[in-house]
Chains A and B, each alone.
Chain A
Amino acid sequence: MAKSNKPIFWSLFAAGGTLAAFLAPVLALLFLMVAMGHAPALFSYANLHAFAAHWLGKAFLLGVITLFLWHAAHRLRVTLHDFGLRQDAVVAVVVYTVAAIGTGLSVLYLLRI
């Protein structure tokens, strides 16, 4: 059987979609509160910094940000095809590269905290 990289990207898509289903609404609500000027206590510099400084907080943030990115990247690839953009090879490289850069930057920023 021919080797395919599809299972890797698809499993990241599925993992990210599941995590996003459980957490994206409530996290969006928190940011909405920030935007409305009613920032939750977690969003003070001291609290968020302490959260991101703990290894558990780091794991949570890394998982959420990177899996959301890989989920969105894979689905965007398929969706662009559905909207009539048929350059899948180029689209795939672009979306996965953005997700990979985002993953690298997440690691970098978390290590700096």
Chain B
Amino acid sequence: MSRKPFVRPVSKTGWWLKHPRYMRYMSREVTCVFIGAFALLMLCTLERLSKGPEAYASFIAAIQGPLSVLGLLLVLIFAVHNATSWFNVTPKALPVQIGEEFLAGKYIIGAHYAVWIVASLVVLLLAGVI
């Protein structure tokens, strides 16, 4: 055994820039920042709503504008990224066995996308958008 084994130096903070696969992993992980921020925004909305019509109206006015649009556009993009990456691993997380065979992944993924579309349409309908 060698006295000084070679240890490949790996950056603790920048390792994920070395390979596209690592970057895809990190892009999936950082979606949590946007999901968390969005949850806090909804919590603030709830707080203002509980304070009465004036407080709520001024809050709604405050979250209008280009900066909010930019921020929420980022939330939307990362929320979609979380959704697609989440659904695309469902065959691994929820394998469906029928007899000896396993159901093909595309059906499990497809079912999740179908529910996603229906759920989104129901929310849009309830919100009065469509």
What mask results when residues 53 to 72 of chain B are scored 1 for a CB within 8 Å of chain A, else 0?
10011001001110011011
What mask results when residues 18 to 30 of chain A are scored 1 for a CB within 8 Å of chain B, else 0?
1011111111111
The reply to whether A71 and B29 form a contact with Cβ atoms under 8 Å apart is no
**Chain B interface, DSSP helix/strand/loop, else mixed:** helix
Q: Which of A26, A52, A65 contacts B120 (CB 8 A)?
A: A26
Given known contacts A45-B49, A48-B49, A76-B32, is B123 in contact with A68 (CB within 8 Å)? no
Name 15 interchain pairs, CB-CB below 8 A, sorted by A: A20-B83, A21-B112, A25-B80, A27-B38, A28-B72, A31-B75, A32-B75, A34-B63, A48-B56, A65-B46, A71-B32, A109-B43, A109-B50, A110-B46, A113-B49
Residues of B within 8 A of A (CB): 11-13, 16, 26, 29-33, 35-36, 38-43, 46-47, 49-50, 53, 56-57, 60, 63-65, 68-69, 71-73, 75-76, 79-80, 82-83, 86-87, 112, 115-116, 119-120, 123-124, 126-129
Which 4 residue pairs are nearest across A and B when measured between Cβ atoms?
A72-B36, A41-B128, A75-B32, A84-B13
